[in-house]
Amino acid sequence: MSTAYDQSDERLVEAGTPRAALGAFGRRIRSGDLGMAPVIIGLVVIWVIFFLQNDRFLSSRNLVNLSLDSATIGMISLGIVLVLLLGEIDLSVGSVSGVGGSIMAVLLVYQGWPLLAAILMALAVGVAIGLFYGLLFTQFGVPSFVITLAGLLAFLGVQLWVLGSRGTVNLPVDSWLIEFANFKFLSPLASYVLAVAIGLVYLVTRLRTIQRRRAANLSAPSFQGAVIRSAVMVAAMLFGAWYLNQDRGVGYMPLFWVAAIVTVDLILRKTRFGRSVFAVGGNEEASRRAGVAVNKVYITVFAACSTFAVLGGILAAGRLQSVAQSSGGTDTNLMAIAAAVIGGTSLFGGRGSAYAALFGMLVLQSITSGLNLIGVEAEVRYIVTGIVLLLAVTIDSLSRRARRSSGTA
Amino acid sequence: MNDGSQPILSLRGIDKRFGAVQALSDVSIDVRPGEVVALVGDNGAGKSTLVKIMSGVYQPDGGEITFDGRQVSINGPKAAQSLGIATVFQDLALCDNLDVVANLFLGHERTSAGVLDEVEMERHSWELLRQLSAKIPSVRIPIASLSGGQRQTVAIARSLVGEPKVVMLDEPTAALGVAQTAEVLNLVERLRSRGLGVVLISHNMADVQAVADRIYVLRLGRNGAEFEIGEVTTEQLVAAITGASDNVVAERAARDKTGATIAPEDIDPDAVLPDGHHAPGTGTTPDSDEERDA
């Protein structure tokens, strides 16, 4: 076989061997392209520390709770990741999630709407809020920071107005939303089947890509490598499922959250829209000249962010079984934004991954849960969370500087 | 079809006003397939305005544009692209965070069943880069880690994705070192040998004389002069650009012929050097065209 197209340059330092791949990974890290590495290391460190403090931290029971608690704000954080990829920000996600939850609850409880209709209505409001932000941003050029700061205040008011004098709205105890968010878990068998199915889909798509790359005379990893990767992936998922199954198992709501993250990740990496999100985040003017519909990208992403915020608000209502004036308060807002940043999404735009929402949220929720277990008060939690956030932003800035000095800014 | 002697792109009597400023008046140029046409002129001569008219960014106030034998109006960048006129702007307009493949196909991504066809795009990228004999170590590294010349290469390769007939290069060597400049000039040669019409805008007389077949000199928004490359000297070019023949270069050439030496007091501090910059020591580096247009 002749040399593959992409391996023919004599200056190419990477070849397809595992050692070369490892070397390439090392170079990437040194040149400041950190990816998910810091947050995963951070998560492991946090888990080890809390496990040493209290061995119940890594018990099945606690991890199931952790997964349930992460999903609500984690869903909001997924929207923040999208906005950050464009180099913008949405400070109002907390209020918007509160508004969404309130609209859903009031329509359901006081207007007698069916639950699904109430949820769809709340989501539609979320879309409308995001469209409004996007139009303000693209048509008048108002900075997103200010638009959404105004939104933070205004929608807090809207939430109080929707709830009215009632203050707190309790969802009907038999509602499937509460079931979904608290008591629905995959059966052990279903969780194992799902793990194997995901592994198989991954393996098949990977083998097909390898085949197509070989047909196109491009270098491709070996088939055995793909099989080993898939096997490791399946084994990890099976172990995770088995461990959670020792308690209640894999919850519907966390599964829904992870599915949303995987979907967003696929959209970002595999579609033209996703490509244009990264392009606009990297160089807006270049994208415009290349024919990317820049305004459409902004509006769509703002709409998606607000919609994910409402979705998070609805899940939170289901988890807490009620909506109150304090729903979606400051804590929600800050945690959602902090999770996206801790997960490794750059504040400077154009760098990050949907999985930032997953790992960032797990870090924050682990801190909360771990400190609760060792009986520390809320003030310590805030301080620790603040320090972790600061650490994450510092890593982001340092890696940006490293990229600059290695010529890859 | 075009046999190579008919212009692929032809502008006749182009006028463009910005408020009280007549940026271009009655400018005409022809670009033939397989020909490198250089546009030179001092700052403010109207080079960038003309390029922007050809790439659809500005609309001319008068005159006509003929492309491939048909009279056309270029309403916007998209219209220019679909006609087959590609422009490589001075700032290259690349996304640093994306890899080479993503930049090459930005806005024109290939998909199959709604999903990006990375294999096809990567294969096509290598094909394009091979045609240009371009030296890019990998198409899967971010643009940010490439050198200036390599970025210019990617920008030029990107202009070829839509299979254009005319490629305009705005100051392609302005920010490059010696070796990288040579690389880009080689690229221009290859564009010509592929039968493309190339419009090269440059301040650098050496570059222009190295690759151009014909040179149009713009002066104060008008057609100043037109030269075939074989029959022009640097002094003539400088004279046409500045509108005067009494400049240091011409004087020096005259003295060289007579064997006289140059005394410092002979050097005119306001004279313009052949690369379009004022003599050192005058302290006034002229603003670029872009700043003037802004």
What is the residue-level pLDDT of chain A in tens, covering all 409 positions? 345 666 665 545 444 556 666 666 676 666 666 778 888 999 999 999 999 999 999 999 999 999 999 999 999 999 999 999 999 999 999 999 999 999 999 999 999 999 999 999 999 999 999 999 999 999 999 999 999 999 999 999 999 999 988 889 999 999 999 999 999 999 999 999 999 999 999 999 999 999 999 998 888 888 899 999 999 999 999 999 999 999 999 999 999 999 999 999 999 999 999 999 999 999 998 898 888 899 999 999 999 999 999 999 999 999 999 999 888 887 898 899 999 999 989 988 999 999 999 999 999 999 999 999 988 878 888 898 889 889 888 888 888 787 776 655 4
Q: Where are the alpha helices (H) located in A324-354, listed in sequence order?
A: 330-342
Q: Which residues of chain A does B140 touch, with a Cβ-Cβ cutoff of 8 Å?
A: 6
How many whole angstroms separate alpha carbon A89 and alpha carbon A85?
9
Q: Which residues of chain B does A12 touch, with a Cβ-Cβ cutoff of 8 Å?
A: 137-138
Q: Which residues of chain A does B96 touch, with a Cβ-Cβ cutoff of 8 Å?
A: 282-283, 350, 408-409
How many whole angstroms separate alpha carbon B7 and alpha carbon B29?
9
Residue A375: CB partners within 8 Å, gap ≥ 6? Answer: none
Could you tell me if B140 lies within 8 Å of chain A, comparing CB atoms? yes
pLDDT at B197: 92
- Cα–Cα distance list, A138 to A131, A132, A210, A282, A322 (Å): 10, 10, 41, 17, 36
Residue B138: CB partners within 8 Å, gap ≥ 6? Answer: A6, A9, A12, A14, B100
Q: Give kind and range of the element (H or E) at residue B27.
A: strand B21-31
How many whole angstroms separate alpha carbon B52 and alpha carbon B65?
13
Q: Where are the alpha helices (H) located in B212-268, listed in sequence order?
A: 234-242, 248-258
CB-CB under 8 Å, A209 with B145: no
Could you tell me if B4 lies within 8 Å of chain A, comparing CB atoms? no
How many whole angstroms separate alpha carbon A315 and alpha carbon A296?
28
**Do A337 and A82 form a contact (C-beta atoms < 8 A)?**
no
pLDDT at B285: 42
Could you tell me if B131 lies within 8 Å of chain A, comparing CB atoms? no
Residue B116: CB partners within 8 Å, gap ≥ 6? Answer: A269, A270, A271, A272, A275, B109, B110
pLDDT at A277: 97
CB-CB under 8 Å, B106 with A279: yes
CB-CB under 8 Å, B135 with A9: yes
3-state secondary structure of B66: strand
Interface probe for A, chosen from B95, B130, B160, B161 (most Cβ of A below 10 Å), is B95
Give the residue on A whose Cα is nearest the Cα of B87: A289
Nearest chain A CA: its distance from B244 CA (Å): 39
CB-CB under 8 Å, A6 with B139: yes
Residue in A218, A275, A408 closest to B144 by CB = A408
**Do A388 and A367 form a contact (C-beta atoms < 8 A)?**
yes
How many whole angstroms separate alpha carbon B164 and alpha carbon B174?
24
Q: Which residues of chain B does A289 touch, with a Cβ-Cβ cutoff of 8 Å?
A: 77, 89, 93
Q: What phi and psi, each to the nearest 5 degrees, are found at residue B221?
A: 80, 10
Nearest chain B CA: its distance from A401 CA (Å): 13
pLDDT at B22: 87
Residue A263: CB partners within 8 Å, gap ≥ 6? Answer: none
Residue in B78, B127, B137 closest to A11 by CB = B137
- Cα–Cα distance list, A403 to A32, B97, B139, B141 (Å): 5, 11, 18, 13
CB-CB under 8 Å, B140 with A283: no
Q: In chain B, positions 89-108, which contact chain A (CB-CB < 8 Å)?
A: 89, 92-98, 102, 106-108
Q: Which residues of chain B does A405 touch, with a Cβ-Cβ cutoff of 8 Å?
A: none
CB-CB under 8 Å, A351 with B97: yes
Q: Please compute, for residue A10, the number of CA atoms within 13 A of its CA located in the half-sphere on the CB side.
A: 0
Which two three-digit tokens encode residue B151? 């970025």
CB-CB under 8 Å, B89 with A213: no
pLDDT at B286: 44
CATH 1.10.3470: which residues of chain A?
35-184+251-405
CB-CB under 8 Å, A291 with B144: no
Look up tokens 């802004």; give the residue. Answer: B294
Could you tell me if B81 lies within 8 Å of chain A, comparing CB atoms? yes
Give the residue on A whose Cα is nearest the Cα of B82: A291
How many whole angstroms separate alpha carbon B188 and alpha carbon B159?
12
Please list the pLDDT of chain B residue by residue as tens digits (294 residues): 455 578 899 999 999 998 888 889 899 999 999 999 999 888 888 888 898 899 888 899 989 999 988 999 888 878 888 899 998 888 888 998 999 999 999 988 999 888 999 999 999 999 888 888 777 888 888 888 888 888 888 998 888 888 899 999 988 888 787 888 888 888 899 889 989 999 999 888 888 888 999 999 988 888 888 888 877 888 888 888 887 655 566 566 666 666 555 555 555 555 555 554 544 444 444 444 444 443
3-state secondary structure of A406: coil
- Second-level CATH architecture of A35-184+251-405: Orthogonal Bundle (1.10)
Give the residue on B whose Cα is nearest the Cα of A24: B141
Which two three-digit tokens encode residue A284? 């807006």
CA B121 to chain centre: 27
Q: Which residues of A touch B (CB under 8 A)?
A: 5-6, 9, 11-14, 31, 33, 209, 212-213, 216-218, 269-272, 275-276, 278-279, 281-283, 285-287, 289-292, 350-351, 403, 406-409
pLDDT at B284: 42
The interaxial angle of helices B148-159 and B118-131, nearest 10 deg, is 110
CB-CB under 8 Å, A11 with B136: no
Contacts made by residues B1-6, CB under 8 angstroms, sequence distance 24+:
B2/B33, B2/B68, B2/B69, B4/B32, B4/B33, B4/B34, B4/B195, B5/B32, B6/B32, B6/B69
Interface probe for B, chosen from A275, A285, A399, A406 (most Cβ of B below 10 Å), is A275
pLDDT at A208: 92
CB-CB under 8 Å, A286 with B95: yes
